[in-house]
Amino acid sequence: MLGKKVHTNPGILAARMQKIAEAPAYQPKPAATSDTRALRKPAYRPGTLTFIGGEKVEVVVTNLSETGARVQHKRGTPLPERVCLKEGRTGKEMWAYVTWQAWGVAGLQFVGAKGKA
């Protein structure tokens, strides 16, 4: 029949389906607890990132904790490894490592902060 295989034993398919049905279902890992990550609070504050070379980029701090922050920016190129974040409202300056970044969003871990950002 035009290259189609004809199974002579339909029990093979039934056995495979039974094996799949008996396998345990996927269970996602539980979310990180407060022991491994500091509690992040929504912030939506203006801020400025200053690079070691002196370049400045305006950002919006979208969430903040004692150990890090998440920022949004409109810079077309990746951020450098180390930056200084200055919050617009408080004027507080904190040096930070850029731990991840993608499409204008970056995660910062403050220098000297204990725990994970």
Indicate the domain borders of the chain: 41-110
| 48 vs 70: CA distance, rounded Å | 13
- Please tell me the predicted confidence (pLDDT) of residue 59: 94
- Please tell me the predicted confidence (pLDDT) of residue 2: 66
Written out in words, the top-level CATH class of the domain with range 41-110 is: mainly beta
113: exposed, middle or buried (C-beta count within 10 Å: 0-12, 13-18, 19+)?
middle
Residues near 60 by beta carbon (within 8 Å), at least 6 away in sequence: 44, 45, 46, 47, 71, 72, 73
- Please tell me the predicted confidence (pLDDT) of residue 98: 92
Q: What predicted TM-score, i.e. pTM, was given to this entire model?
A: 0.62
pLDDT tens profile 37-89: 678 888 889 999 999 989 999 999 999 888 899 999 998 889 999 999 998 77
